[in-house]
């Protein structure tokens, strides 16, 4: 078959628009008010909340579903800005947040939560949330 039929095209279109839109809106809101990207917040949260203050880079990559090189690049930028430290230990690299990183995270958390609520959670009717969650998990594989 050559192309998508009408129903398939509609779903694909709505998928692209909503995923791009939600991502862009949340990112713009968080970045504008805190100077951290959504990815920064996610990384800081994992490193800070997990592993008793330290976290292996590999663990973080798995937890976030990121490729090694993506995480490496991102951590380099965050390290440059003084948000995290990297210390190489036996069999890996151990991550810690800096004082500055923790301060930034504390400032960012409420902004991030508000943005996620406004642009995702509250935009979905309460009685559809479970079903949506199930479908999203299916799609995540």
Helix axes 99-119, 6-34, angle to 10 degrees: 140
Q: Which does 141 bind (CB under 5 to 8 A by kind): a copy of itself, DNA, none?
A: a copy of itself
Q: Fill in the per-residue mask, 5 to 44: x = in contact with DNA (CB under 7 A), - = not in contact.
A: -------------------x---x--x-----x-xx----
Q: Which does 131 bind (CB under 5 to 8 A by kind): a copy of itself, DNA, none?
A: a copy of itself
Q: Which of 74, 108, 115, 119 binds DNA (CB under 7 A)?
A: 74
Q: Which does 111 bind (CB under 5 to 8 A by kind): a copy of itself, DNA, none?
A: none
84 within 8 A of 64, measured Cβ to Cβ? no
Q: Which two structure tokens, joined as six digits, stand for 73?
A: 């690049």
- Residue 86 host element (H or E): strand 84-89
Q: Which of 45, 72, 85, 98 binds DNA (CB under 7 A)?
A: 72
Stretch of 52-60, 101-109, 112-120, 127-135 lying at the interface with DNA (CB under 7 A):
52-60
Q: Minimum distance from CB of 58 to DNA (Å)? A: 3
Angle at 69 between CA 68 and CA 72, to 5 degrees: 90
- Residue 96 host element (H or E): strand 92-97
Q: Which two structure tokens, joined as six digits, stand for 133?
A: 């969650």
For 115, residues 6+ apart whose C-beta sits below 8 A from its C-beta are 25, 26, 29, 30
Would you tell me which residues interact with DNA (CB under 7 A)? 24, 28, 31, 37, 39-40, 56-58, 61, 66-77, 86, 90-93
């Amino acid at each position: 078959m050559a192309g998508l039929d009408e129903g398939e095209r509609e779903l694909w279109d709505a998928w692209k628009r909503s995923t791009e839109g939600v991502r862009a809106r949340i990112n713009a809101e968080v970045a504008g008010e805190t100077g951290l990207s959504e990815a920064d917040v996610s990384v800081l949260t994992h490193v800070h909340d997990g592993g008793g203050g330290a976290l292996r880079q590999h663990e973080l990559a798995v937890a976030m579903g990121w490729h090694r090189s993506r995480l490496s690049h991102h951590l380099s930028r965050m390290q440059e800005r003084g948000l995290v430290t990297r210390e190489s230990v036996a069999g890996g690299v151990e991550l810690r947040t800096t004082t500055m990183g923790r301060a930034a995270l504390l400032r960012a958390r409420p902004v991030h939560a508000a943005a996620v609520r406004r642009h995702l959670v509250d935009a979905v009717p309460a009685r559809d949330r479970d079903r949506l969650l199930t479908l999203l998990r299916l799609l995540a594989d």
